[in-house]
Chain A
Amino acid sequence: AQKITQTQPGMFVQEKEAVTLDCTYDTSDQSYGLFWYKQPSSGEMIFLIYQGSYDEQNATEGRYSLNFQKARKSANLVISASQLGDSAMYFCAMREETSYDKVIFGPGTSLSVIP
């Protein structure tokens, strides 16, 4: 069974608009962490934001925020005020404490920002 599901293979958003990228996960661990990474066409993986399973507040980093709904096992990434440079692949990932902290990545969502 897939641990991380990203149901949107491709998304488009108008420049300056907000966009939500979906992520659901599957775990029986009580302690886990959720990450979002950005991968531009150049290939490097760029860390964006982290949410711990025990964190009560949703994580925010500049224009990025993570909408964490623990009961629904979802961890959606919200990008506000989209910029052309946001066009990239976005990967949701999870680290489980019982799996020696290895990180499992989802299949990714391709985001294209339209001028």
Chain B
Amino acid sequence: DTGVSQDPRHKITKRGQNVTFRCDPISEHNRLYWYRQTLGQGPEFLTYFQNEAQLEKSRLLSDRFSAERPKGSFSTLEIQRTEQGDSAMYLCASSFNRGEQFFGPGTRLTVL
């Protein structure tokens, strides 16, 4: 399978715990994006990388959120001290330069 993959697909955690999600983009894609989608809404942009450089972060990305793409390949999104409001689908997408973005299946986070 050469599509975008995300792990885990589902995560249930207790409030206050830290969680980390992983995204593996399509191998030749240099751009990687993170989005958050809540029920009944469109995806909201969180951040994006060109190779290993994080080029933009949304103001939605509070200081509890951090994303990395250390070698310009896979990326991780960490949420510290999770809150119930963090419950959402976290989507990763990749593209080659300004081409269309291909999305992964998402990680559904539930914070109890």
Contacts and interface: CB of A to CB of B under 8 A. Distances in A.
Interface of A: 4, 33, 35, 37, 43-47, 50, 91, 93, 95, 99-108
Given A43-B89, A44-B103, A50-B100, A104 B45 contact: yes
B43 interface: yes
Given A44-B106, A45-B91, A101 B98 contact: yes
Interface of B: 31, 33, 35, 40-45, 48, 55-56, 58, 89, 91, 93, 98, 100-106
Given A43-B89, A95-B98, A105 B44 contact: yes
B48 A102 contact: yes
Given A43-B105, A44-B106, A103 B98 contact: no
Chain B binding surface, main DSSP class: strand
Nearest to B89: A43
A91 B42 contact: yes
B60 to A, nearest CB: 12
A47 B33 CA distance: 15
A110 to B, nearest CB: 9
23 contacts: A4-B42, A33-B98, A35-B100, A37-B103, A43-B106, A44-B104, A44-B106, A45-B91, A45-B93, A45-B103, A47-B102, A100-B56, A101-B31, A101-B98, A102-B33, A102-B56, A102-B58, A103-B33, A104-B45, A105-B44, A106-B42, A107-B40, A107-B42
A43 B102 CA distance: 13
